[in-house]
Amino acid sequence: MVEAFAVASGKGGTGKTTSTLALGMALAERYDVTVVDADTGMANLLFHTGLDDADVTLHDLLVEGREASVDDAVYDRFGMSVVPCGTSLAAFEAADPGRLREVVAELAAGTDVLLLDSPAALGSKSAVLPVVLADRVVVVLQPTVPSLSDGLKVQEYARSYGTETAGVLFNRVRPDEDVERIAEQASRYFGGSALASVPESDAVRAARRAGEPLLAHAPTAPAADAFREAAATLDVRE
């Protein structure tokens, strides 16, 4: 494997799942990419990939004495290998999140780039495990002070486990937002430039409704260009 990235944020709804799939599709033009819905409590990547009815999911790989093999939970979608997670509360409760470590190790052996769509918040050990397991973290933020503050905490926590920040991705940037100010904030707080500023976009919402990643549903939308730019700026380690 080349590299594993966690896509994380302080709060939910910043666009982690949208970003994971968009970065994944952009990187899939050069690499074998596997995306994993590691947000085992609030999984929703399945709804963005037409996998609502997937038989075997990450939950089945996290149970003690599992019967499923890792390959059973891998689906070919949009040029990537996708490991969805189910939405049942009972399955979440039956799963042992600590087993993610061995599942990630198995997946990593068969792919170039692994993207872990991560839970929001740092409340529990299981919520931070994807960030701990990754080589680097992509922090998804909105261009607001509270979101920046959340993102800084994610960065600090990740660093305490040796996971460096690959970059920050400003999402849902409105037309009246000052992009230069955002770039300045990124370098001041995160010690590097923003990977990209992704605009607030009807195309993102339409893609979700269609059950497709943005880059499949609206490849020419400005938001799709911004995500491709972010993927190129990631500078995956060869």
Q: Kind and range of the H or E element at 115?
A: strand 113-117
Nearer to ligand ADP, 15 or 24 (CB): 15
Query: Rounded CA gap, 45 and 138, in Å?
Result: 17
How many Å apart are CA 147 and CA 107, to the nearest integer?
31
Q: Which stretch binds Mg ion (CB under 5 A): 43-51, 127-135, 151-159, 176-184?
A: 43-51
Min dist. Cβ of residue 113 to ligand ADP (A) = 19
Task: Pick between residue 70 and residue 137 the one whose CB is nearest to ligand ADP.
Answer: 137
Residues 10-29 that bind Mg ion (CB under 5 A): 16-17
Q: For residue 132, give every residue at least 6 positions away whose Cβ sits within 8 Å of its Cβ, in sequence order, or none.
A: 158, 161, 163
Residues 133-172 as x/- pattern, contact with ligand ADP by CB under 6 A = --------------------------------------xx
Closest listed residue to residue 138, CA positions, set 58, 200, 81, 194: 194
Quick check: helix, strand or coil at residue 98?
helix
In the 8-state DSSP scheme, what is residue 199?
E
Q: Which does 99 bind (CB under 5 to 8 A by kind): ligand ADP, Mg ion, none?
A: none
Residue 57 site contact among ligand ADP, Mg ion, none (CB < 5 to 8 Å, cut-off depends on kind) = none
Give the pair of three-digit tokens for residue 82.
Answer: 């996708």
* Minimum distance, C-beta of residue 120 to ligand ADP, in the bound complex (Å): 6
Residue 67: CB atoms within 10 A of its CB come to 9
Restricting to residues 171-230, which ones interact with ligand ADP according to CB under 6 A? Answer: 171-172, 198, 200-201, 204-205, 208, 223
**Strands of the 136-141 sheet, one edge to the other:** 75-77, 80-83, 33-37, 113-117, 3-8, 136-141, 164-173, 194-199
Nearest residue (CB) to Mg ion, 17 versus 40: 17
When asked if residue 59 is in the footprint of ligand ADP (CB under 6 A), the reply is: no
Among 4, 10, 16, 168, binds ligand ADP (CB under 6 A): 16
- Residue nearer to ligand ADP on the CB measure, 70 or 224: 224
Nearer residue to Mg ion within complex by CB, 38 or 185:
38
Q: Return the residue nearest Mg ion (CB atom).
A: 17
Q: If DSSP states are collapsed to H, E and C, what string results for 12-39?
A: CCCCHHHHHHHHHHHHCCCCCEEEEECC
Instruction: Please name the amino acid found at residue 217.
Output: H
Query: What does the binding site for ligand ADP look like in residue numbers (CB under 6 A)?
Result: 9, 12-18, 44, 171-172, 198, 200-201, 204-205, 208, 223
Query: What does the binding site for Mg ion look like in residue numbers (CB under 5 A)?
Result: 16-17, 44
